[in-house]
Amino acid sequence: MNKLRLILILFAAFLAVFWEAAFPGTSRWLKAQVDLLPALMVFASLSVNLPGVIALAVCGGLFFDSLSANPLGISILPLFTVGFLIFIRRELILRDQAYAQFFLGLAASAVAPLLSVLLLLTGGHQLLLGWGSLWQWFVMSAGGAISTPILFFVFDWCERAFGPSRVTESSFRPDREIRRGRN
């Protein structure tokens, strides 16, 4: 189940990056492109093991940077930082609650681009930043927040559809049966 989940997550990361680059719908209407990778990272850090989180950070980061003007590899660290912070606290997080998913998505989508920009500025790159970047940051955070519960729903549905069905345990146990009457 864990492997299927990881494969689905990596495939989703691949499609998400392509969608962001090929269909600039939100960037035309809202003047900012929503990044789905932090939302995916929230799902991965609550659903797969640490190697899975690393795999998503590395593959997602490389996919993103390959279609962007970013230096290759710069997006890996922000994604991994977000995933790692959630992963080490995942026992304390109410994974199945939509509001928890929403706020985790909001935080992840706010932190990841901020870290990327900080890394790029530290590397001496000139970026397109200004007051409008605050709006873009808001759109990215809000978009990530909204898409996180949706991603959880879609992945749960995919696992139910493609994964092996769970064996339901009946409450009936023959050794606990109360036999009435004599004998």
Partner 1 sequence: MKKSHYIALGLVALLVLVVLNLPARTAARLKLAVGSLFLPLFGLASASQQAAGKTADTLTPRGELERQNEALRRENQMLRAQELQHADLAKENERLRALVNWQRRAPWKLKLARVVLRDPANWWRTVQIDAGSRDGVRENMPVLTAEGLVGRVQSVSLTRAQVVLVGDPNCKVSARVRETRDDGIVAAGGPFDSSLVEFTHLERGANLKAGQNVETSGMGGIFTNGIPIGKIVDVRPAQFGLYTEARVKLNANLAGLDEVFVMIP
The gap between the terminal CA atoms of the chain, to the nearest Å, is 47
- Assess 65 for contact with partner 1 (CB under 8 A): yes
- Assess 14 for contact with partner 1 (CB under 8 A): yes
Find all residues with CB under 8 Å of 111, minimum gap 6, and list them: 38, 78, 81, 82
Residue with tokens 């023959």: 174
Q: What is the distance between the alpha carbons of residues 65 and 153, in angstroms, rounded to a whole number?
A: 28
In this complex, which beta carbon is closest to partner 1, that of residue 77 or of residue 158?
A: 77
Q: Is residue 38 a contact partner of residue 79, using CB atoms and an 8 Å limit?
A: yes
In this complex, which beta carbon is closest to partner 1, that of residue 18 or of residue 153?
A: 18
In this complex, which beta carbon is closest to partner 1, that of residue 26 or of residue 159?
A: 26
- Assess 158 for contact with partner 1 (CB under 8 A): no
Query: 145: left (phi > 0), else alpha (psi -120 to 50), else beta?
Result: alpha
Among 106, 115, 120, 145, binds partner 1 (CB under 8 A): 120
Residues 136 to 155 in contact with partner 1, rule: CB under 8 A: 136, 140
At 69 the three-state DSSP class reads coil
Binding site for partner 1 (CB under 8 A): 14, 17-18, 20-24, 27-28, 31-33, 35, 50-51, 53-54, 57-58, 62-74, 76-77, 80, 84, 88, 113, 116-117, 120, 123, 126-133, 135-136, 140
